[in-house]
Homo-oligomer: A and B are copies of this chain.
Amino acid sequence: MAKRLSSSPDYTSLLDKYDTWLFDCDGVLWQGDRLVEGVPEVLNLLRTHKKRILFVTNNATKSRKSYKKKFDQLGLEARVDEVFGSAYASAVYISTVMKMPKHKKVYVVGMKGLEEELEEEGIQHLGGTDPADNTLAEFHLKDFQPDPDVGALSKAFTYLRRNPGCVFLATNIDSTYPSADGLLPGAGSISAPLACALGREPLSIGKPAETMMDCIKAKYQFDPARAIMVGDRLNTDIEFGNRGGLSTLLVLTGITHESEVVGPSASTTIPTYLTNSIGDLRAAIS
């Protein structure tokens, strides 16, 4: 069962135990465009204690560079090399694990952030934001305008059916994601039509997959016993940390309700710790 953190010594002990802190972002540090209360102080506390901080997100709509801008806008300190997004991890996977030959191309059903990360890794791509394949208007619940479309479904399907050895990768398979105005369909919903038509599932790169952890470990060596993953989703963040042998801290500022962690209908994925909000760690500020 998850240990419920509540007292000041609980949080101080957490600070002592872990050197490396991996954070999910949406639902942990912010909710849409609203910063979770206390986040600047807590990140500052960790930096003051010389903790390594990494931001690990399944959001594949942004490159690390544009994700860093989001930190800037919210007034949070972050370096590009502290950010691990599933778009970046996918590009790294394609270049270093698959070792895709340079003359081959990736057909993108996705957004500019994914294209940017592919370009950073020197990977050629098609589709994506090409106007022939897409309309580019973004979807915001409050404006109620169309989302980036997946008109390229039939193209992607045809490549995957007809090109021998064509690999079906998903940046992540989250069914939904929390926007500023509420839940919207996530990347898992974008690959679902392809999975349905092809009758097979994609290889998913983002949390909870090991490929994301491999990508982080290729850059930073750390002792899992002294590392903690902080997240709001049991089936991605907490599962990811647990699989990697890290400790895990579930916060309730995002998608998971406490009833999913304690009580008779609790999930089989159990975090090491549970607290209401990452802001609770301010109790460790002496």
Contacts and interface: CB of A to CB of B under 8 A. Distances in A.
B147 A135 contact: no
Contacts of A150: 149-151, 153, 193
Interface stretch (A12-20, A180-188, A250-258): A180-188
Contacts of A196: 175, 185, 188-189, 192
A149 B147 contact: no
A184 B152 CA distance: 12
A114 to B, nearest CB: 17
A80 interface: no
A226 interface: no
Contacts of A186: 197
Contacts of A189: 153, 157, 192-194, 196-197
Contact of A146 (B151, B176, B184, B192): B151
Among A145, A182, A189, A194, chain B packs the most CB atoms within 10 A around the CB of: A189
Contacts of A154: 139, 141, 146-147, 184-185
A240 to B, nearest CB: 20
Counted per complex, copies of this chain come to 2
Contact of A153 (B133, B175, B185): B185
Contacts of A132: 145-146
A158 interface: yes
A190 interface: yes
Among A155, A184, A185, chain B packs the most CB atoms within 10 A around the CB of: A185
A11 B92 CA distance: 61
A196 B135 CA distance: 22
Interface string A153-165: 1110110010000
Contacts of A197: 175-176, 183-186, 188-189
Contact of A192 (B148, B149, B158, B192): B192
Given A153-B189, A161-B183, A175-B196, 5 more contacts: A147-B151, A149-B150, A183-B197, A186-B197, A188-B196
